[in-house]
Chains A and B, each alone.
Chain A
Amino acid sequence: MKEPLLFVKDLHAWYGDSHILQGISLSVWQGRASAILGRNGAGKTTALKTIMGLIQRHSGLVRLGTLRLDELPAYRVARAGVAYVPEARGVFPSLTVQENLTVSARPTQGDWSIERVFDTFPRLAERRGHKGKWLSGGEQQMLAIARALMTNGRLLMLDDPTEGLAPNIVEELNNLLRDLLDDGLSLLLVEQNFEFATNLSNEIYVLGKGRVQWSGSASDLIANGDVTRTWLGV
């Protein structure tokens, strides 16, 4: 198989003295989705944050294409092409929908513009003048994804995007992410929703106690009752 777009090797991270990530390795390929699954506290969110450059104390290799990311500050990682949808969306409450979209936009780097976003998310176009804090949970999730797309990155990292969403919105999100994959975007997904993740992703990494306990294809994971029982409790 050709070189991965995102390559992570032996990544460690610490919060104070607690050793949260204890050497994880994973890859994401161009136009494909990888998912990180695991119980609460397994280190999933920390993994994304460390890749993003948000965790001070860390070691290991993170590469996007040929570029080393692991020593860069978060804003440089973002500019290098990593788009991030954080846990709980992180919509800016005091900025309007339009400002949320434009404040971090890098329109010259790709083809996501405000027009295309409003075309794809008509609901956001209707609410463009509203402050972020007045949006519903589903709207906030759409805004967080649209905002990340406006940075025109090559890799989209989503932290638990289905959390708290109604089933019909989860379905909508699934279709949207499929379209993005068809467009050639790559995804790295952290999920609690087993079905949603296995349905979208090609590669799955099961995290437990700060390490990758199992990795393989979605269909292999579904067939492997031991792994899902021990590490996911499904």
Chain B
Amino acid sequence: MQNVVTEVSQVFLDPTFLAIQFLNGLQLASLLFLLSVGLSVVYGLMNFINLAHGTLYMLGAYIGLSVARGSGSFWLALIVAPIFIAALAAVFHALLLRRMQAASPMKQILVTFGLIYVGLDVVRYIWGDYSHSIPAPDFFAGSVHLLGEVYPSYRLFMIGLGWFVFIALYYGLERTRLGAVVRAGVDNREVAMSLGLNIELAFFLVFCLGCGLAGLAGVVAAPVLSVYPGMDMSILVLTLIVVVIGGPGSLRGAALGAFLIGMFETFGQVFFPAIASVIVYALMAVILLARPGGLLPVRPS
């Protein structure tokens, strides 16, 4: 017994082991960031709670699956699926969400919750009940040697993609005209409109972009997690927690929230598997007690 404890603690405190877990945490954070940024910004900007955001992630994965199988190219899937999902989001917005913006949060939750089930049945109808997978692209199919360990290079690609999207969005928000219009609309929507800015159009474009990123997350996740009906539900809760602790509407908040949840979830599974699922909720409770508006709220209270 004594021996086992020593051995286990040696493995857990091994710096290489910790570094690898850290990378795993970053990889999960990257995925959560891609998923939560759209949800967060749409909730923060348009006051719209879209529970079906995860459905777009699942659809992105399935469309990526079909494109990758049809063309044999992961990269084509990575480009086509998000565009398709963004276009789908535009239709969805025109038909439904635009009419529901003034509705109460409870109605928004009920309608978008219903859409989760619609999405589930659509996926079952088209692709069936089985679980699928998209193979990683050839270029990232192998492993790299890192700190004397072997680490799948595709996971490093996921981490890099998360950072790339974060930096691109940050640059777009801070340095482009559309970014300035969006910030003006967030600061004071009424004044921005009365200066001639079409805030509704700007927010609509942001909505489509955010949904497209959920589709991107679906394709990116497919080689690592499997593609199956209901894959959206398993990640939706973590995504919602990221939005809440980061501060709705905040780009940096979504990044920070994704980082924290990615790490706590990953290290929790390794060190305290028995209570791993409780850890992230506890973290959320503690953060919300200290900062009810989230860590980096858009409008400081």
Q: Shortest beta-carbon distance, B216 to chain A, in Å?
A: 27
When C-beta atoms are compared, the residue in chain A nearest to B193 turns out to be A74
Beyond A78-B194, A86-B191, 11 additional contacts (C-beta under 8 Å) are A52-B194, A75-B193, A75-B197, A75-B198, A86-B194, A92-B184, A92-B192, A99-B184, A102-B180, A104-B195, A104-B196
If A95-B180, A103-B180 touch, whether A75 touches B196 (CB-CB below 8 Å) is yes
Q: Which residues of A contact B184 (CB under 8 A)?
A: 92, 95, 99, 103-104
* Residue from A54, A73, A74, A106 having most chain B Cβ neighbours under 10 A: A74
Contacting pair A148 B183 (CB below 8 A) = no
Partner of A74, one of B177, B183, B194: B194
B129 at the interface (CB under 8 A from A): no
Contacting pair B190 A54 (CB below 8 A) = yes
Contacting pair A54 B193 (CB below 8 A) = yes
Within 8 A of A (CB), among B162-215: 177, 180-181, 183-184, 186-188, 190-199
When C-beta atoms are compared, the residue in chain A nearest to B102 turns out to be A56
Within 8 A of B (CB), among A44-87: 52-54, 73-75, 77-79, 84, 86
Contacting pair B199 A75 (CB below 8 A) = yes
Q: Which residues of A contact B180 (CB under 8 A)?
A: 95, 99, 102-103
Partner of B194, one of A84, A92, A93: A84
In the bound complex, CA of A86 to CA of B192 (Å): 11
Contacting pair A78 B196 (CB below 8 A) = yes
Q: Shortest beta-carbon distance, A226 to chain B, in Å?
A: 36
Partner of A106, one of B181, B186, B196, B199: B196
Contacting pair B187 A78 (CB below 8 A) = no
In the bound complex, CA of A84 to CA of B187 (Å): 17
Q: Which residues of B contact A103 (CB under 8 A)?
A: 177, 180-181, 184, 192, 195, 197
Within 8 A of A (CB), among B14-53: none
Contacting pair B194 A95 (CB below 8 A) = no
Q: Shortest beta-carbon distance, B185 to chain A, in Å?
A: 9
Q: Shortest beta-carbon distance, B196 to chain A, in Å?
A: 4
A213 at the interface (CB under 8 A from B): no
In the bound complex, CA of A104 to CA of B196 (Å): 6
When C-beta atoms are compared, the residue in chain B nearest to A89 turns out to be B191
Contacting pair A95 B193 (CB below 8 A) = no
Q: Which residues of B contact A54 (CB under 8 A)?
A: 190, 193-194
Ranked nearest first, the 8 interchain pairs of A and B with the lowest CB-CB distance are: A78-B196, A104-B195, A90-B191, A74-B193, A92-B187, A103-B180, A84-B194, A79-B196
